[in-house]
Amino acid sequence: MKLLAGNSNRALAEAVASRLDLPLTRAQVKRFADNEVWVTIDENVRGEDVFIIQSTNYPANDNLMELLVCIDALKRASARRITAVMPYFGYARQDRKTGGRTPISAKLVANLIERAGADRVLTMDLHSGQIQGFFDIPTDNLISAPLLANDIKINYDKPADIMIVSPDVGGVVRALAVASRLNAELAIVDKRRSGPGKSEVANVIGDVSGRRCILFDDMIDGGGTLCNAAQALIDAGATEVSAYVTHGVMSGAAVERVNGSVLKELVMTDSIPAPERALEGGKIRYVSCDQLLGEAIRRIANEESVSKLFD
C-alpha cells in the first residue's frame, strides 16, 4: 500500500500517514508557469494499492485537476488499484436538477474521477447520500457522527439537558445519527432558502426552552444558515447554542460572522485545512479525522469491512 498526497490538505495526509506508520509516496505536484498542474511520481508504484488523499475544497478547480492528473499518472505507472480519498467532496451541492437549464455537477465530477482511472472512492459525509450512486465504482461514504459525538461526550457534562438540532429538514437523518449515539432529543429548524447561500428561519420544531442546543450539519460555507438558526434557538428559549460541522468551507466573511454570532462554539473536522484567521476569535475549534480516515484506508487495503467502523 502507498499513500500519495496532493496539495489541498497536506497536514491531514501527513497525519493519516503517521497513523498508518507509512511514509507518503515521493512525488512532485507542482504548477507550470501558466498554472497548469504538473505531476511526477518519484518512486515505483507498479502493482501497488495506492491511495490519493486530496480534498476538492477551495480552490476547487485547481484541487480537482490535481486529483485527476495524479490518478492519470498512477494509472499510466501501472498501479494495481487507485483509490481517491476525498475527505471533502466538492461540487456536491448541485446533486439534482432544481430548475430548468441547471447542471448536475456532482455527477459530472463523478464521471471525471472514473474516466481518469480511479478504481474506488473514499469520502466523508457527502452532502447528499445519493451521490454514491453517481459512481459506477465502489464508493465508501464515511460518517463523522461517531467522531463528533465522542467529542461532545468529552466536552459536555450533564448530557440530559442537551438537544441535538438539525439546521434544516434535509439534515434530519444526519443529526439523528448523533442524537441516537448521545441518547439525546432532536429538534429541527425549518429553514427556507431564497437563493444559493441565502436562507431564513421560518420556525423551530421542538421545545428547546431551557436546553443546551447543539446544531449539527455537514458543512458551513458562508455561515448564514448556522448563525440564523442559532439566533432562532436563543429566541425560542435555548440557554446556549453550539454547532458541530464536518466540513468547514468558511468562505467569504464566515469566520467573522461566526465570531459575531450567538454561537458559543463551532467545532469542525480538519477535512478542509483551517484558515489562520479561524483560530483567532476563540469560538472555532477543530477535531482531526485522521484516525477515522486511516482506519478506513487500512480496512480497504486489507479487504476488511468498512461499515463495521460505525456499528
pLDDT digits (tens, 9 = 90+) for 76-129: 999 999 999 999 999 999 999 988 999 999 999 999 999 999 999 999 999 998
Residue 36, annotated as binding a ligand: yes
pTM of the model: 0.93
Contact present, 37 and 29 (Cβ < 8 Å): yes
Instruction: Mark whether 283 is an active-site residue.
Output: no
- Neighbouring CB atoms inside 10 A of 207's CB total 12
Residue 120, annotated as binding a ligand: no
Residue 193, annotated as binding a ligand: yes
Point out the catalytic residue in the list 75, 97, 107, 191: 191
What local confidence, expressed as pLDDT, does residue 170 receive? 84
What local confidence, expressed as pLDDT, does residue 82 receive? 98
CATH code assigned to 2-142: 3.40.50.2020
Residue 221, annotated as binding a ligand: no
- Span(s) in the chain for CATH 3.40.50.2020: 2-142, 145-288
Model confidence at 198, pLDDT cuts 50, 70, 90, reads: low
What local confidence, expressed as pLDDT, does residue 282 receive? 82
Specify the range with the lowest mean pLDDT, choosing from 194-208, 242-256, 285-299.
194-208
What local confidence, expressed as pLDDT, does residue 102 receive? 94
- What is the spatial distance between Cα 197 and Cα 204, in angstroms, rounded to a whole number? 20
Q: Which CATH number fits domain 145-288: 3.40.50.2020, 2.40.50.140, 2.60.40.10, 1.20.1250.20?
A: 3.40.50.2020
What local confidence, expressed as pLDDT, does residue 193 receive? 62
What local confidence, expressed as pLDDT, does residue 311 receive? 74
- Of 212, 214, 217, the closest CA to residue 168 belongs to 217
